[in-house]
Amino acid sequence: MDYENDNLPEEGLDNKGYDSRLMRRLLGFAGKYWHLFALAVVFLFASTVVDLARPILTGMAIDDFIKKGDIPSLNKMALYFVILIAAGFLFNLLQVYLLSYAGQFIIYNIRQLVFSHLQRLPLSYFDKNPIGRLVTRITNDTETLNDMYTNVLVTLLKDFSILLGAIIIMLRLNVRLTLIVLAVMPFVAVVTSIFRIKIRKVYRDIRVALARVNSSISENISGMHIIQLFNKERSNFAQFNETGRQYYKATMNEVTTVSLFRPLIEMLSSLAIALLIWFGGSDVVGGTLGFGVLYAFINYVALLFQPINDLAEKYNILQSSMAASERIFMILDTPAEKDEGSFSDDNSPICGDIEFKNVCFAYNEGDWVLKDVSFKVPKGKTVAIVGHTGAGKTSLINLLSRFYEIQGGEILINGINIKDIRKDSLRKSIGVVLQDVFLFSGRLMDNIRLNEKSITDEKIKEVSRYVNADIFISRLPNGYQEDVMERGSTLSSGQRQLLAFARALAFDPAILVLDEATSNIDTETELLIQDALAKLTHGRTTVIIAHRLSTIQHADSIIVLHKGRVHEMGTHQELLAAKGMYYSLYQLQYQPDA
| Strands across the sheet containing 557-562 | 430-433, 511-515, 541-545, 382-387, 557-562, 565-570
Q: Which of 465, 493, 508 is the last residue of a domain?
A: 508
Q: What does the pLDDT look like over 538-592, one tens digit per residue?
A: 778 989 887 778 778 888 899 999 888 999 999 999 999 998 898 888 888 766 5
CB atoms within 10 A of CB 358: 12
- Residues sharing a CB contact under 8 Å with residue 591, sequence separation 6 or more, in sequence order: none
Closest by CA to 384, choosing from 585, 592, 160, is 585
Whether residue 381 lies inside any domain: the answer is no
Q: Which one of 449, 474, 508 terminates a domain? A: 508
Domain carrying residue 268:
20-332
Handedness of CA 222, 226, 231, 232 (dihedral sign): negative
370 beta partners? 361
Spatial neighbors of 18 by CB under 8 A, at least 6 apart, are 318, 319, 322
Position 407 in a domain = no
Same-domain status, 319 and 466? no
Distance CA 221, CA 366 (A): 38
Tell me the pLDDT tens digit for each residue of 525-538: 667 767 766 666 77
Query: What element of type H or E holds 28?
Result: helix 20-30
Last residue in a domain, options 290, 316, 332: 332
- Residue at 461: amino acid letter: K
- 133 lies in some domain: yes
Contact assessment for residue 352 and residue 510, using Cβ atoms and an 8 Å cutoff:
yes
Residue range 62-69: mean pLDDT, rounded:
84
Q: Which CATH number fits the domain that encloses residue 203?
A: 1.20.1560.10
| pTM of the model as a whole | 0.74
Residue 312 lies in a domain: yes
87 belongs to a structural domain: yes
Tally the domains of the chain: 2
Burial of 407-427, coded b for 16+ CB within 10 Å and e otherwise, reads eebebbbbebebbebbbebbb
List the one residue out of 520, 533, 472, 537 whose CA is nearest residue 499.
472
Together in a domain, 309 and 447 = no
Q: Which comes out higher in pLDDT, residue 240 or 338?
A: 240
Q: What's CA 463's distance to the chain center, in Å? A: 35
pLDDT in tens, 70-94: 888 888 888 988 999 999 999 999 9
204-244 residue pLDDT tens: 787 778 777 877 887 788 788 788 878 888 888 998 899 89
Confidence of residue 245 (pLDDT cuts 50, 70, 90): very high
Quick check: is 209 in a domain? yes
273 within domain boundaries: yes
CA distance linking residue 230 with residue 236, whole number of Å? 11
CATH, residue 497: 3.40.50.300
Residue 166 and residue 51 in one domain: yes
The answer to the question of residue 272 being in a domain is yes
